[in-house]
Amino acid sequence: MSTPTSSPPAPADDDTTAAERPAQDLRQQVYDSPKEKFIEYVLGACALLSVLTTLGIAAVLVIESIPFFQTVALTEFFGDTQWTPQFSEKHFGIWALLAGTLLVTVISAVVALPVGLASAIFISEYASKWVRKVLKPSLELLAGVPTVVYGYFALTFVTPLLQAIVPGLGVYNALSAGIVVGIMIIPMVASLSEDALQAVPDSLSQAAYALGATKYETVVRVNVPAAFSGIMASFILAVSRAIGETMIVTLAAGATPKATLDPTESIQTMTAFIVQVSKGDTPQGTIVYQSIFAVGLVLFLITLALNIFANRITLHYQEEY
């Protein structure tokens, strides 16, 4: 704030506020002008839209599930192990769909977690600069492949390949879908784990080398344990992604909900059921139509819990360094 110094003598009434007024006026007219405030509120409203989206999702799922749960008791929903909404004798036991989802998710995790972590370690600790320049974009491209294309790949390439190895494997099976879902989430595990490994301070591995550790000992016993929480977060996010994956399982895993843990069988996941109902001509207001909202609610809650969990871990590890 400028103070009047050796200015020529001015009329007294002007002089009293000369030190205060210009700054205040500037603030009011320019910084807090109606136009500036208006812009701030408009931008703020846009930011609020994301909160409204979450509320909208929650509201739609809860409100639309109410009629379903008025017909189907919660005890049946969580107690029955059969899911047969299209049959005359209807059963609504979510376990049949949950088991299918679990089966595909476990298979995909078995494929993606080790391979993704290994890729992350290789890219972060071993690859030379130009190898990294080739590998990272190709993993990004792999991540950019639409899921329906993976579904085509599972059905027309992986399943026939597996049928040659596993005798008696049907066209639709959890194994093929699970493997391809795993391939789909490899880039996610790799990229998030690599970020975690990069965040480990160099001084830790330097210290290990100074003690005479080899590269492998440094990586396995220093870098990876130090990045452990970040790697865990990447695993959880990838599993959550696998649970929500839709097109691969719709195309390759079949449409027969059953509470089995046999990977060679045809099953149905929660997501695939939602697609199956909405692609048909199921009339609004029927119990089958209402059931997709209930299944959607279960799906949303599971993935939300996993995402919140992963974000908590990530926050924790960001504070660490």
Partner 1 sequence: MFGEDVVRTYALATTRSNARTVTPRISMEPSANGSFQTHRSRRKRIGILLAGVLFLATIFGVVVLVTLLVDVVASGMPWLDGRFLDSFPSRNPGEAGIKSALFGSLWLMGLTALISVPLGVASAVYLEEYAKDGWFLRLIQINIANLAGVPSVVYGILGLALFVRFAALGQSLLAGALTLSLLILPIIIISTQEALRSIPSGIRENAYALGATRWQVIWSHVLPMAAPGIFTGVILALSRAIGETAPLILIGALTFVPFLPRGALDQFTALPIQIFNWTARPQSEFEGLAAAAIVVLMILLFTMNLTAILLRNYFEERRAGS
Within 10 angstroms of residue 128's Cβ, the number of other Cβ atoms is: 7
Distances (CA, A) of 31 to 40, 45, 47, 260, 313: 11, 19, 21, 65, 40
CB of 93 to partner 1, least distance (A): 21
Of the pair 262, 278, the CB lying nearest partner 1 is at 278
- Least separation in angstroms between CB 88 and partner 1: 26
Residue whose CB is less far from partner 1, 64 or 76: 64
Torsion 284-290-295-299 (CA) sign: positive
- In the complex, the smallest distance separating the C-beta of residue 297 from partner 1, rounded to whole angstroms, is 9
Inter-CA distances, 174 with 72, 104, 151, 302, 309, Å: 28, 6, 12, 20, 27
Nearer to partner 1, 20 or 40 (CB): 40
| 19 versus 211: smaller Cβ distance to partner 1 | 211
Q: Using the minimum distance from each CB to partner 1, give the nearer residue, 70 or 75.
A: 70
Torsion, Cα of 154, 156, 162, 165 (10° steps) = -170
Please choose, from the candidates 154, 150, 185, 172, the residue with its C-alpha nearest in 3D space to the C-alpha of residue 269: 172
CA dist 272 and 252 (Å) reads 10
Shortest distance, CB of residue 92 to partner 1, whole angstroms? 18
Kindly tell me which of 10 and 161 has the beta carbon lying closer to partner 1: 161
297-302-308-313 Cα dihedral, nearest 10 degrees: 180
Cβ at position 12, least distance to partner 1 in Å: 29
Find the shortest distance in angstroms from Cβ 257 to partner 1.
16
